[in-house]
Amino acid sequence: MITLSEVGAHVSPETGTPGRADFGVYLPGITFDKGYRVRAKVIHEADQFVRGIEPVAVWLSWMKGTEYDLWTGGLSLSAAADQQPGTHFGWPGRYLYRYELLREPGGIPGVAAVRFADPFGRDAGLGTLSSFTAPAPAPFAWTDGAHTPPSVDEMVVYELNVREFNQDFDGVVTQLDYLRGLGVNVLELMPVTNVGEDVEWGYTPLGYFCPDDRFGGSAGLKRLVDACHAKGMAVILDAVYAHSHPDFAYNTVYDSTGEPNPMMGPFAGEFFPHRPGSDFTKAFTAQYFTALNRFWLDEYHVDGFRYDYVPGYYDGNPAGPGYPALAYETYEYSRTLPRFQTASGASSVIQCSENLDDPIGMLSQTYTNTCWQNRLMDAARGMARGGYVSEDFAHLLDPAFVGYPDRYSNPASGETFPVAPFQYLETHDHQRFLNEFGRALAPDLLEQPFGDRTKFYKTQPYAIGLFTGKGIPFLFQGQEFGENWGLPEDGIGRNLFERPLHWDYFYDPPGKALVRLYRILGSLRNASRALRARGDFYYYSRPDHLSAKVLAFRRHAPADGAAPPEDFAVALNFGDAPATVWLPLQAAGDWREQIDGAMLLHTLHDGDEALVTIPPNYGLVFRRL
């Protein structure tokens, strides 16, 4: 069994010194009896690039009989300073380390030593290095004891790349009020773990247990999560478990030695030949990622995970190894944590599966309560490119209509909890939705033309539909002010190129118009039970609507205790001219338009129709008063 307390680097106090550092690493099949030797090479960060200063070697001992061949060792930092006169070794500060694997006699064929970062390292330094701080920092002072993540029906999700959004974790903290103003209550962070390249999306992880130093490291991520919880926002991490960086320890060690690999190998649908895959049929792999999820929930108080490329570790068997088992084990563990406990007994941990081949199966057959699915986005982009209006877009605004379940139920235990898909127009994987309406002439550095922001208005009816339909509204960074970076379809220019947000767009006319609309829609969604309800959604299928490029639907929430029933009627105009149509209203009474507030309708009977004129590339959202 993997025990995190015995692996990684751990600093303990010593009187009058920076402390003692102890190291531990599992290397299954790498044993002293076979002639292998393992040592940690440690250097003070201030000496890293100084000529003539070599790291201190710490030889580790093989713990014979341990399940996964544990190697351990340590040193007193002040005592070891005698080996490094005139250096910073033994001083307080950050220390860098990595492991070296050697073999006697004869060595490892083709290499003098295999050097690798700690696969359980809690922090990382520049390059393929792990790190620790001495003396050990005081435990983080969490202030989020009262935090609970929002329920599935209440979520509004915002995906961001920390570096592109605002440099680092602390930069994101400064923008939380801005995000709350958009109605956002779930922050989805693109991968934040240590990677090999300085500019990287993060989908080739090198250190699974350590937030990347370029973002602010472990302390910075804890500050961000705590600040989010103080604002009523949950945080979920993009979890990249199907594949890793070629320099990941369990790839490097076993490729170099030829020993059977306890973790890496082909499994399920992994199709990235340049990225080593994770084989979840191996016990060590399953335990590694289960321990990892528990670590993130405990140490960083995150609220869940967006699991990248689930087909890479899902063989189609909902009771099999890989993703189904990991999601179940994570769910069960989360039930022991107070912030996830609910009145129904179900856990509110957020587990989002990216399995575009079978998102419905993910929600109906595994312990997954949200999922990525491209169907709404694909319909929107087809309409944008083709200049037509399709009923499919309206149907997809009601996930239940196209087969998505409302709840997951375990057939054996009867345990049940609500589920819903993410609904979006754009994500990091696709070019900006705005770019579907035309390209500006000036290209970005990869010769991908920027989207034509003079066409910003064409995105408006889609955004209104996103926030007033069913499912979980999901925004990608900058969508709300018309971000228009180009994105190649493939190649290294997709994820090895930094695209910082054009925050100056916030101030120009397109940006101001879009931000205003998104803020109104976010507030309306947060305040309205009917827009969050999983109940009545009805699409008005009328020939005169389609010919006018109009889609219309209604939302309803029944009375709930002291709360009266709520009714909305929504009409979206995707055309370039005003559209005048008859809009059925399901209940008698006064109806006030909610985006601009100027229009008031009155009906005498249930089902009466009102003649309304919808501005071009816009929408009207009526609420019964």
Residue 139 lies in a domain: no
Per-residue pLDDT of 329-342, as tens digits, reads 999 999 999 999 99
CB atoms within 10 A of CB 596: 12
- Last residue within a domain, chosen from 102, 134, 166: 134
Q: CA 310, CA 354: separation in Å to the nearest integer?
A: 6
| Residue 286 or residue 490, greater confidence | 286
Element (H, E) at 226: helix 217-230
CATH number at residue 600: 2.60.40.1180
Residue 143 lies in a domain: no
Sign of CA dihedral 357, 360, 366, 371: positive
Residue 149 lies in a domain: no
Say if residue 522 is in the same domain as residue 541.
no
- Last residue within a domain, chosen from 506, 527, 548: 527
Residue 140 lies in a domain: no
pLDDT, position 457:
97
Summarize the chain as % helix, strand, coil (round to 5): 30, 30, 45
pLDDT, position 490:
76
Statement: residue 361 has pLDDT above 70? yes
Per-residue pLDDT of 140-177, as tens digits, reads 999 999 999 999 999 999 999 999 999 999 999 999 99
Say if residue 553 is in the same domain as residue 426.
no
Residue 258 lies in a domain: yes
Model pTM score: 0.96
Say if residue 416 is in the same domain as residue 545.
no
CB atoms within 10 A of CB 132: 24
Q: Of 609, 608, 588, 598, whose CA–CA distance to 545 is shortest?
A: 609
Residue 144 lies in a domain: no
CATH number at residue 247: 3.20.20.80
138 Cβ partners below 8 Å, 6+ apart?
Answer: none
Residue 220 Cα to chain centre, angstroms: 17
- Last residue within a domain, chosen from 476, 495, 527: 527
Say if residue 263 is in the same domain as residue 369.
yes
Residue 516 lies in a domain: yes
Say if residue 484 is in the same domain as residue 337.
yes
Residue 428 lies in a domain: yes
Say if residue 478 is in the same domain as residue 580.
no
Query: Which of 103-107, 271-275, 379-383, 486-490 is modeled with the greatest confidence?
Result: 379-383
CATH number at residue 37: 2.60.40.10
Say if residue 588 is in the same domain as residue 556.
yes
Say if residue 520 is in the same domain as residue 541.
no
Per-residue pLDDT of 458-483, as tens digits, reads 999 999 999 999 999 999 999 999 99
In one letter, which amino acid is 208? Y
| Residue 170 or residue 413, greater confidence | 170
Say if residue 52 is in the same domain as residue 126.
yes
pLDDT, position 269:
67
Say if residue 230 is in the same domain as residue 357.
yes
pLDDT band (50, 70, 90) for residue 377: very high
Say if residue 344 is in the same domain as residue 488.
yes
Cis peptide before 135 (omega within 30 of 0): yes
Instruction: Tokens for 337, please give them.
Output: 């944590």
Say if residue 567 is in the same domain as residue 588.
yes
* Cβ pair 287, 2 in contact under 8 A: yes
Look up the domain containing 311 and give its range: 154-527
Cis peptide before 205 (omega within 30 of 0): no
- Taking the alpha carbons at both ends of the chain, their separation in whole angstroms is 60
Statement: residue 274 has pLDDT above 80? no
pLDDT, position 270:
60
Q: How many domains does the chain have?
A: 3
